[in-house]
A and B are shown apart, each in its own frame.
Chain A
C-alpha cells in the first residue's frame, strides 16, 4: 500500500499558542483513519492544514503526493471535504450548489447534468433537486454535502465531525456510504469525531491527539491492547484524562450559534 497522507514534523503556532506540536503520521491508501481528541487538542487545526485552509508554521504535509504549501490546487483536486457545519449556498438549489462546485473544480461540462442528477439520486434527493437549500433539513443538507464532496471523484474524503446534530437515519446513511465508497472505490477516509463508538466501529486506524501531540496511533485493537482497556472510550479517557476542556469560541462561531438559536433564514 502507498502512503496517501504524509505528515512530517508538523507544527502550527498562533502567536504564542502551539496548536499542533511537531506531529508525525502517515495514512495508507484505502484506510479509514479516525483522528480523535478532546476539544482544543489540535484536530481541527491539523485538518485545516491538510485541506489547505491554513498554512503550517513548519513541517511538511503531503496529500496524494502533493505538498500542501507548494501544490495547493493539486491537493485540492485530490480531496473531498465534508465540513463540521454546513457550507452550502442556501440561496441556491441543490442542483445549483453541485453545478457551481463542478465549475469550481473544472469538471468538464459534457455530461455534467447527468452526473449531478445521478449523484443526487444516489443520496436520495433527486426529487428535491430544484428546491432551495434554505428549505432543507439538517440531514438533507448533509446529504447534499456528501454528494458535492464526491462529485469530483476525490481520492481522499475528509470529514470533520460529520455526524454532529444528525438524526440516526442520516448518520447510518453517512457511515454506510463511507464504508461502501471505501470498499468499492478505494477512497481513503480521514475523519474526526467525538463519538468514539462510531470511530471504533468504522475506523481501520486511529490516532489520539491531545495538547497538539499524538499520544497513540494504531488499529482500534492495538489502541485498546496498549492501554489495557476494553473499549475505545476507556482508552481515550485513560490517555487524555477526565478534565473538561475549555473550548475557544471565535466570532464566526458565535455568529453561527446565534443563527442556530434563532433558526434564522438568510436575508
Chain B
C-alpha cells in the first residue's frame, strides 16, 4: 500500500511543481469550449429544451480528462529515459502497486484539470444542475481519469520513444473524441458511424458526466458498468505488460 501511496504522491507533487504544464493543458479544452460554444451554440437542435452549453461542457470536461490521462503515460517514458524507472523496478514492491500508484496519482491530477474546466464553463453560462451531485461528479471524473491513465500507462510500457508516443496516442484519441457524443448529437451520423459511437467507451464516460452535471438522462448503469469493467480489464492487461518491462 505504501508503494501505491508514494508513487501517487510523486505524480501529484510533480504536477503542482510544473505550473507551465498545467496552464498549457488547459488552453486546448478552453479553446474547444469557446469555439464550439459560440460557433455551434445557435445551430444546436433545441428540440429537447437543452441548451448547448449544458450539453457541451461535460463533453469538454471528459475530453480534458481523457487527453491528460492518456498523456500521463509520457511520465513513464520520461522515467525510462532518465532511469528512474529502474530505481522503482528494483525496489521491494510489486509491479502492480507501481502501476496503480502512478495511475491513481495521474487520475488525481487529471480530475483537478477537469474541475478547472468545469468552473471555466461558468464564464460561458454553464450551471451545475444540482449541487448535491458535486461529490458524485468528482468521483465519476476520477474513475474516467483512472480508466484512461491505465490505458495510457499500459500502452506507454511498450514505447521507448518520446516522439512516437504522443502521435500514436493522438491517433487513438481523435476518433474517440469526434466519433462520440462529446460535442454534438450523433443522430445525423450514417448508421455505420453510429455503430462506432455505440462501441466507443469515451461515449459512456461523457454520458455519465452529462447526467451528473447537467441532468441529461442516459443509461447510467450501462455507463457505470462499461467504465468499471474497462478499468478491471485494462488494469489486468496493464499489470501483465508492467511485469514484462525490461530496462
Question: Which residues of A are in contact with B by a Cβ distance under 8 Å?
Answer: 51-54, 72-74, 76-77, 79, 81, 83, 85-92, 100-101, 103-106, 148, 250-252, 255-256, 259, 266-267
Say yes or no: A87-B91 contact (C-beta < 8 A), given A104-B3, A255-B160, A267-B18.
Answer: no
- Among B82, B91, B160, the residue within 8 A (CB) of A76 is B91
Most buried by B among A76, A87, A251, A259: A87
Which residues of chain B are within 8 angstroms of A52 by Cβ–Cβ distance?
Answer: 90
How many Å from the CB of A79 to the closest CB on chain B?
8
Task: Known pairs A87-B84, A92-B13, A255-B81; list 18 more (Cβ under 8 Å).
Answer: A74-B92, A83-B83, A83-B86, A86-B83, A89-B84, A91-B14, A92-B10, A92-B14, A100-B6, A103-B6, A104-B6, A104-B91, A106-B92, A252-B160, A255-B80, A255-B160, A255-B162, A266-B78
- Among B5, B6, B14, B81, the residue within 8 A (CB) of A259 is B81
How many Å from the CB of B89 to the closest CB on chain A?
6
- Among A53, A76, A92, the residue within 8 A (CB) of B92 is A76
Bound CA–CA A243/B93 (angstroms): 42
Please determine whether B86 and A89 come into contact, CB atoms closer than 8 angstroms: no
Please determine whether B92 and A77 come into contact, CB atoms closer than 8 angstroms: yes
Which residues of chain A are within 8 angstroms of B87 by Cβ–Cβ distance?
Answer: 87-89, 101, 104, 148
B247 at the interface (CB under 8 A from A): yes
Say yes or no: A86-B92 contact (C-beta < 8 A), given A103-B6, A104-B3, A106-B2.
Answer: no
Which residues of chain B are within 8 angstroms of A255 by Cβ–Cβ distance?
Answer: 80-81, 160-162
Q: Label chain B's interface by main secondary structure.
A: helix
Which residues of chain B are within 8 angstroms of A88 by Cβ–Cβ distance?
Answer: 82-84, 87
Please determine whether B80 and A252 come into contact, CB atoms closer than 8 angstroms: yes
Which residues of chain A are within 8 angstroms of B162 by Cβ–Cβ distance?
Answer: 255
Please determine whether A267 and B81 come into contact, CB atoms closer than 8 angstroms: no
Say yes or no: A89-B21 contact (C-beta < 8 A), given A73-B93, A251-B161.
Answer: no
B96 at the interface (CB under 8 A from A): no
Bound CA–CA A91/B13 (angstroms): 10
Which residues of chain A are within 8 angstroms of B6 by Cβ–Cβ distance?
Answer: 100, 103-104
B88 at the interface (CB under 8 A from A): yes
Bound CA–CA A53/B81 (angstroms): 16
Which residues of chain A are within 8 angstroms of B17 by Cβ–Cβ distance?
Answer: 91
Most buried by A among B84, B90, B247: B90
Which residues of chain A are within 8 angstroms of B91 by Cβ–Cβ distance?
Answer: 76, 101, 104-105
Which residues of chain A are within 8 angstroms of B81 by Cβ–Cβ distance?
Answer: 252, 255-256, 259
Please determine whether A73 and B92 come into contact, CB atoms closer than 8 angstroms: yes
Which residues of chain A are within 8 angstroms of B14 by Cβ–Cβ distance?
Answer: 91-92
- Among A74, A87, A101, the residue within 8 A (CB) of B86 is A87
Say yes or no: A90-B82 contact (C-beta < 8 A), given A100-B6, A101-B87.
Answer: yes
Contact with A along B3-33 (1 / 0, CB 8 A): 1011000100110011001000000000000
Which residues of chain A are within 8 angstroms of B217 by Cβ–Cβ distance?
Answer: none
Q: Which residue of B lies closest to A252 (CB)?
A: B160
Q: Which residue of A lies closest to B6 (CB)?
A: A103
Interface residues of B in 145-177 (CB under 8 A from A): 160-162
